[in-house]
Amino acid sequence: MEPPARSSFSPAGAGGVLVGATATGVGIGALIGWAAGALGIGALIGAILSLPAGVFAVYRRYRGYFT
């Protein structure tokens, strides 16, 4: 039996996952801020909260590469 093939690490793919997760968080924060009457503040809070979520998404996607 052969071991399973290792997935290749793609820095561009990791960056895309990070940007996508962060942009999604900013968008959701902006929508919530818009509904509350403070679009800029909502986008800022969304960006602050989505950065750790983006890092976690990259970790989950590429966790098998570093082991």
Which pLDDT belongs to residue 6? Answer: 63
Which pLDDT belongs to residue 4? Answer: 67
- Backbone dihedral region of 37: left (phi > 0), alpha (psi from -120 to 50 degrees) or beta? left
Which pLDDT belongs to residue 29? Answer: 96
Which pLDDT belongs to residue 62? Answer: 87
Among 42, 41, 44, 51, smallest CA distance to 17 is for 51
d(CA 8, CA 34): 40
The answer, yes or no, to whether residue 7 has pLDDT greater than 90, is no
Give just the sign of the alpha carbon dihedral 40, 58, 61, 12.
Answer: positive
Six-digit token pair at 57? Answer: 């998404």
Which pLDDT belongs to residue 40? Answer: 94
pLDDT tens for 11-63 read 899 999 999 999 999 999 999 999 999 999 999 999 999 999 999 999 998 88
The residue type found at 29 is G
